[in-house]
């Protein structure tokens, strides 16, 4: 038997083995959901004391939980943590690029050179940077529900809820002097007041070069094994301008994360939608994520294809792809998850189990029995109007510059038809001049716009189908051909033409420009549909509150609520995973980084900063670098400390693998993994490569 024939037979057998279970999985009757499909992002409002004891034999005392909570911080967009008694805090490099650029001095390039403040005097205060510490938690559910019970219909209930929240936030902020906000859990099944102490004097201590922090760039993003030194250190100062004395901080572990050891991730995950109903998920699948995924996928792929058409612009196209690459991968993989029959069947099973319990109890049935039908009704209406809303919203970031210009002109025209006092603030006085200055973009790239315009026209057709509104825009063409046709019929790419319309707004409706005509023809219906969407979402939010109350009545705090930027505690252990016919290691080492560097001959994005090209002799290449673990994180968790049961830092979370992306809707531990940089790698690098001895000693000792 030939070697080729043998390979064909092996591939056929593998396909059969893989394909048959997938067919079975599509049958919702044999798909079983898990209690923890909602994840393991536990709140500090309802700490999982019993669960940790029963699962791991770990006793999470009140003292331990308080220390862990007060050691964690929330910073803009990410998480940070105290790691010394002298106010030193740790987060990710990718959470710190803006801060780095804001403290950079003339002639510096900290992105390339890194930064280290050897003394306190060298530490640089970061403008607009702050760190929030959660110091107060109070359940105020009864007060919110009492206000809602005083009124009857959904719209009034939503207003009563929002007014009560605003009132309580103001009262508690004035009473405590803290920054107080009310958060909802279980889709509004519970409400809590959180009080934050804000530190606004935050100074940069250390940040590595971007090349080592984001080694492998967009190509390696969401993959594993990884080799990223994705860390940054700041220091918090008190009101007197001295390093803050922090009683609560995570000590540094010299051993790092050990196999089979219980470890925790402590952070502020952004948003998940795991408690959404199946009808809501189908809307995400069929309208919302379908649309955004289409735009990003098409733009990404067409930029690559256009490299051969415009070879002199290949680098420009690659730069745009890199800028959008992260979002494209996120939305693409979420959409892939939503169209997976297995995932939807698993969500249906989870929902059916809840329904069965509700309908089996007369009291629960009376109170919550209509929730799913009500939400399905609102989603049915959104399914009808959603595509039009997406197609008519021509001014948002994914549309082309031509359509953005047209939208700004039409809005300007509409505003100028009103009496001056009735206009929006952006069209009054000095603000009007600023608004008009933004009508035409600072740069108009005709080649890039041709690509974007072709994608956007196909996007309109995706949502509107064969529609007479599109005939003047596309003339029956698609993609690049449609874009070329439209460019030949419009003058919106000519700045003099646009400037003339700005000076003479009455001309805008008379130009007979096809893009302006399109916007004029849809803008009123778009505004009307947007108002209807707001009404639908208001009604639905009250039904979601009821759904949350039902979940809470059934499960209490034995399952965690959806993530919502509140502080969470996640449990897990080191655990690899199998994919593409191979097995991932639990951890990587610096040996692997250099293998990748030399394997790609140091080419982008596997370049190394100069200081890393030849590491010092004393640097231990066998040091554990990045590791994967069975923890549940999403965006916002970046910068979260990974600690052991002694509240010692064993790592710093910076990413998830590609299988974690669908975690927005469901947590599936079979493949979902968190990726972290190890405590050993950070310390070894800071000490041996950067020669930052003071920082290294502070991490070891927990103080300067």
643 is written with which tokens? 């600690």
Closest CA to 625 of 654, 591, 601, 671: 591
Report d(CA 200, CA 204) in Å as an integer: 13
How far, CA to CA in Å, does 604 sit from each of 222, 601, 658?
A: 17, 9, 22
How far, CA to CA in Å, does 291 sit from each of 281, 454, 461, 603?
A: 14, 15, 11, 35
Strands 582-583 and 578-579: antiparallel
The pLDDT of residue 628 is 98
311 is written with which tokens? 């070879």
Taking residues 173-202, what's their average pLDDT? 96
Q: Is 583 helix (H, G, I), strand (E, B) or coil?
A: strand
The residues facing 251 across adjacent strands are: 648
Taking residues 685-692, what's their average pLDDT? 98
Angle between helices 446-464 and 371-392 (to 10 degrees): 140
Closest CA to 91 of 78, 77, 76, 80: 80
| Runs of H (alpha helix) within 248-370 | 278-283, 289-305, 314-338, 341-359, 362-368
Is residue 515 very low, low, confident or very high in pLDDT (cuts 50, 70, 90)?
very high
The radius of gyration of the chain's CA atoms, rounded to the nearest angstrom, is 28
CB 371 within 8 A of CB 332: no
The residues facing 42 across adjacent strands are: 569
Residue 227 confidence (pLDDT) above 50: yes
Report d(CA 395, CA 388) in Å as an integer: 14
Q: What is the mean pLDDT of the chain?
A: 93
Q: Is 80 helix (H, G, I), strand (E, B) or coil?
A: strand
Taking residues 81-109, what's their average pLDDT? 97
Which CATH class for the 43-130+200-273+561-701 domain? Answer: mainly beta
Tell me which H or E stretch contains 267: strand 263-267
Residue 17 confidence (pLDDT) above 50: no
> Tell me: the pLDDT tens digits for 115-126?
999 999 999 999
The ranges assigned to domains in the chain are: 43-130+200-273+561-701, 278-528
238 DSSP 8-state letter: -
Residue 22 confidence (pLDDT) above 50: no
CB 382 within 8 A of CB 536: yes
Taking residues 353-361, what's their average pLDDT? 96
Report d(CA 646, CA 633) in Å as an integer: 21
Residue 26 confidence (pLDDT) above 60: no
The residues facing 644 across adjacent strands are: 263
Report d(CA 81, CA 650) in Å as an integer: 13
The pLDDT of residue 29 is 54
The pLDDT of residue 10 is 35
> Tell me: the pLDDT tens digits for 450-498?
999 999 999 999 999 999 999 999 999 999 999 999 999 999 999 999 9
List the beta strands (DSSP E) in 40-116. Answer: 42-43, 72-75, 78-82, 88-91, 115-116
User: Which segment of 27-31, 400-404, 517-521, 622-626 scores lowest on mean pLDDT?
Assistant: 27-31
Burial of residue 186 (number of CB atoms within 10 Å: 0-12, 13-18, 19+): buried
Chain mean position to CA 79: 13
Percent of all residues in the chain with a pLDDT value above 90, rounded to a whole number? 88
CB 105 within 8 A of CB 113: no
How far, CA to CA in Å, does 287 sit from each of 167, 177, 193, 395, 532?
A: 36, 44, 34, 18, 17
Closest CA to 517 of 561, 456, 468: 468
Residue 9 confidence (pLDDT) above 60: no
The pLDDT of residue 4 is 37
Is residue 28 very low, low, confident or very high in pLDDT (cuts 50, 70, 90)?
very low
Tell me which H or E stretch contains 654: strand 648-656
Report d(CA 367, CA 478) in Å as an integer: 51
> Tell me: the pLDDT tens digits for 365-378?
999 999 999 999 99
CB 102 within 8 A of CB 207: no
For the ranges 69-73, 299-303, 325-329, 398-402, the one whose mean pLDDT is highest:
69-73
What is the secondary structure of 181-234 as a DSSP string? EEEEEGGGTEEEEEEEEEE--EEEEEE--HHHHTTTHHHHTT-SS------EEE
Taking residues 148-162, what's their average pLDDT? 91
Closest CA to 532 of 378, 351, 673: 378
244 DSSP 8-state letter: -
Report d(CA 342, CA 480) in Å as an integer: 36
CB 378 within 8 A of CB 540: yes
533 is written with which tokens? 């969407």
Taking residues 342-355, what's their average pLDDT? 95
Instruction: Name the phi and psi angles at 221, rounded to 5.
Output: -60, 135
Report d(CA 280, CA 459) in Å as an integer: 22
Strands 251-252 and 648-656: parallel
Residue 443 confidence (pLDDT) above 50: yes
Report d(CA 567, CA 571) in Å as an integer: 14
Q: In 10 A of CB 361, how many CB atoms?
A: 14
The residues facing 628 across adjacent strands are: 675
Query: Apex CA 298: angle with CA 293 and CA 302, to 5°?
Result: 155
Residue 24 confidence (pLDDT) above 60: no
Closest CA to 584 of 575, 573, 593: 575
Residue 667 confidence (pLDDT) above 60: yes
Is residue 221 very low, low, confident or very high in pLDDT (cuts 50, 70, 90)?
confident
Report d(CA 88, CA 234) in Å as an integer: 6
């Amino acid at each position: 038997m030939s070697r080729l024939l043998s390979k064909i037979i092996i591939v056929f057998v593998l396909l059969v083995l893989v394909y048959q279970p997938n067919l079975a999985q599509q049958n919702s009757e044999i798909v079983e959901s898990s209690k923890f499909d909602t994840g393991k992002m536990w709140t500090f409002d309802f700490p999982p004391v019993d669960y940790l004891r029963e699962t791991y034999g770990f006793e999470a005392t009140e003292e331990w939980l308080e220390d862990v909570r007060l050691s964690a911080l929330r910073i803009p967009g990410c998480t940070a943590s105290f790691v010394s008694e002298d106010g030193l805090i740790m987060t990710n490099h990718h959470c710190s690029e803006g801060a780095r650029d804001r403290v950079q001095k003339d002639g510096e390039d900290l992105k390339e050179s890194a930064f280290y403040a050897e003394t306190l005097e060298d530490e640089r205060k970061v403008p607009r940077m702050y760190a929030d510490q959660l110091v107060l938690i109070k359940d105020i559910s009864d007060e919110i529900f009492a206000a809602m019970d005083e009124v009857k219909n959904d719209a009034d209930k939503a207003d009563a809820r929002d007014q009560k929240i605003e009132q309580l936030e103001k009262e508690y902020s004035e009473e405590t002097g803290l920054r107080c906000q009310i958060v909802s859990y279980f889709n509004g099944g519970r409400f809590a007041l959180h009080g934050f102490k804000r530190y606004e004097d935050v100074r940069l201590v250390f940040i590595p070069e971007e090349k080592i922090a984001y080694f492998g760039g967009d190509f390696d993003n969401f993959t594993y094994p990884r080799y990223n030194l994705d860390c940054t250190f700041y220091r918090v100062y008190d009101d007197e301008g001295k390093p803050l004395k922090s009683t609560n901080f995570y000590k540094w572990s010299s051993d790092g994360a050990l196999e089979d050891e219980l470890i925790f991730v402590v952070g502020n995950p952004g948003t998940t939608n795991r408690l959404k109903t199946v009808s809501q998920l189908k809307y995400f699948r069929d309208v919302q994520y379908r649309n955004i995924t289409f735009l990003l996928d098409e733009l990404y792929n067409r930029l690559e294809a256009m490299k051969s058409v415009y070879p002199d612009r290949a680098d420009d196209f690659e730069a745009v792809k890199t800028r959008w690459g992260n979002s494209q991968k996120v939305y693409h993989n979420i959409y892939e998850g939503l169209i997976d029959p297995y995932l939807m069947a698993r969500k249906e099973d989870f929902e059916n189990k809840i329904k069965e319990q509700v309908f089996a109890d007369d009291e629960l049935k009376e109170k919550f029995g209509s929730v799913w039908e009500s939400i399905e009704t609102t989603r049915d209406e959104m399914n009808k109007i959603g595509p039009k809303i997406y197609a008519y919203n021509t001014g948002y970031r994914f549309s082309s510059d031509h359509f953005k210009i047209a939208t700004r002109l039409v809005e300007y025209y509409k505003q100028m038809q009103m009496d001056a006092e009735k206009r929006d603030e952006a069209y009054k006085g000095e603000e009007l001049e600023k608004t008009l200055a933004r009508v035409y973009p600072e740069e108009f790239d005709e080649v890039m716009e041709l690509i974007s315009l072709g994608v956007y026209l196909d996007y309109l057709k995706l949502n509107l189908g064969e529609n007479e509104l599109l005939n003047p825009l596309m003339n029956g063409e698609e993609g690049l051909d449609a874009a070329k046709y439209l460019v030949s019929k419009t003058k919106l790419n000519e700045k003099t033409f646009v400037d003339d319309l700005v000076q003479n707004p009455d001309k805008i409706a008379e130009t007979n420009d096809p893009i302006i005509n399109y916007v004029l023809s849809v803008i009123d219906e778009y505004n009307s549909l947007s108002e209807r969407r707001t009404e639908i979402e208001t009604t639905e939010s009250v039904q979601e509150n009821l759904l949350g109350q039902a979940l809470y009545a059934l499960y209490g705090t034995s399952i965690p609520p959806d993530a919502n930027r509140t502080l969470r505690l996640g449990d897990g252990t080191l655990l690899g995973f199998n994919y593409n016919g191979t097995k991932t290691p639990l951890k990587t080492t610096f040996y692997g980084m250099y293998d990748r560097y030399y394997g790609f001959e140091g080419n982008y994005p596997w370049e190394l900063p100069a200081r890393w090209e030849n590491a010092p002799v004393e640097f231990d290449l066998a040091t554990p670098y990045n590791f994967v673990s069975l923890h549940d994180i999403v965006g916002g968790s970046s910068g979260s400390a990974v600690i052991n049961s002694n509240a010692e830092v064993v790592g710093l979370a910076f990413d998830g693998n590609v299988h974690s992306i669908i975690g927005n809707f469901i947590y599936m531990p079979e493949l979902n993994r968190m990726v972290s940089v190890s405590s050993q790698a950070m310390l070894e690098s800071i000490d041996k490569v950067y020669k930052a001895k003071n920082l290294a000693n502070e991490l070891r000792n927990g103080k300067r």
